[in-house]
Amino acid sequence: GWDSSAVIANNLIMGNGGPGGGVETFKSIPSIVNNTILDGIRCNGCSPLVTNCIVWGNGIEATAIVNYSCVEGGFSGIGNISGEPLFVDSTNGDYHLQPDSPCIDEGDPDYVAEPNGIDLDGYPRILDGDSDGFAVVDMGAYEFLANVPCCFGVNHLRIATESDKKGKGKGRGSDIDIKGTFNPAVPIDLAVDDVTFFIDDGQGNVLDFFIPAGSFKPEGKPEHQKFKYDSPKGSRPDIKARFDLLKCTFELKAEKVPKNGKIASTTLAVAMYV
């Protein structure tokens, strides 16, 4: 860019055939965030801000300000590393991260993704890639998918709190109804996969519903690939879940959910993990 402050995010930048770098800046201070850059960064009279990136090949010019990034040959800054990023198959153009990549959960620990933020593949950012219980953004364009949420389309979400339900009894709790679709690229085997639904209002209030592997039972003819789960009688919350693996749809109904604090029915993020 020239004399601008652009944001360059979530890109795989490679194959530059010109004389410049993969990213070339002129008299500007762009923010370069969560990119995988294979042809270096060239600076012309400027100091771009590089964060959560992998820069492999041709390096970065010295005037850049680089933090929490993986840079071939190393680069001064906070949280930078220089070890091999361990791409899945760079020879054939696959720049996702292997499970033992040093770039997983090593981005800026204070980085907060945009609401419903996604990576280059469209998967949610941020994920807990190293399964340590703390979700930290990865370096590069792709989040590592060890615990990939497979739910991307929620077309119906309703939370009815106690105050919404007239005449249904004090202390009954809230009711939750979620319907949506999941990504068919993520294989689901309900015989061996646990399923967890998360509802997060972004204010530190989270509801989660866990259904262990093997709990779903076939519903209807086997070729229809429909499965259901009903929690044991008297459960609190009382959970009913349905999957249609052919149509890639799901439904979760939870009744008598214990008091959930201040979670609101607006601006909610919903994720489903298998």
Domain ranges (residues) in the chain? 1-148, 151-273
pLDDT at position 255 is: 86
In this predicted structure, the answer to whether residue 242 has a pLDDT above a threshold of 90 is yes
Whether 60 has a pLDDT exceeding 90, the answer reads no
Q: Is the dihedral of CA 7, 141, 78, 126 positive or negative?
A: positive
Question: What does residue 91 show for φ and ψ, rounded to 5 degrees?
Answer: -60, -35
Confidence class of residue 259 from pLDDT cuts 50, 70 and 90? low
* pLDDT computed for residue 254 by the predictor: 87
Q: How far apart are CA 125 and CA 111, in angstroms?
A: 10
- Least-confidence region, from 112-116, 167-171, 211-215: 167-171
pLDDT at 76: 93
pTM confidence score: 0.54
Q: What's the mean per-residue pLDDT of the chain?
A: 78
Q: Summarize the confidence of residues 131-137 as an average pLDDT.
A: 85
* Region 65-74 average pLDDT: 94
**Scanning the structure block, which residue is given the tokens 């809230």?**
174
Q: Kindly indicate the confidence band of residue 79, based on its pLDDT and cuts at 50, 70 and 90.
A: very high
Distance of CA 93 to the CA centre of its chain: 22
Cα separation, 139 vs 101, in Å, equals 10
pLDDT at 21: 45
Q: What is the pLDDT of residues 211-230, one digit of tens each?
A: 888 999 999 998 899 999 99
Q: How confident is the model at residue 19 (pLDDT cuts 50, 70, 90)?
A: very low
269 confidence band (pLDDT: 50, 70, 90): low
Closest CA to 248 of 177, 200, 194, 179: 179
pLDDT band at 173 (very low <50, low <70, confident <90, very high): low
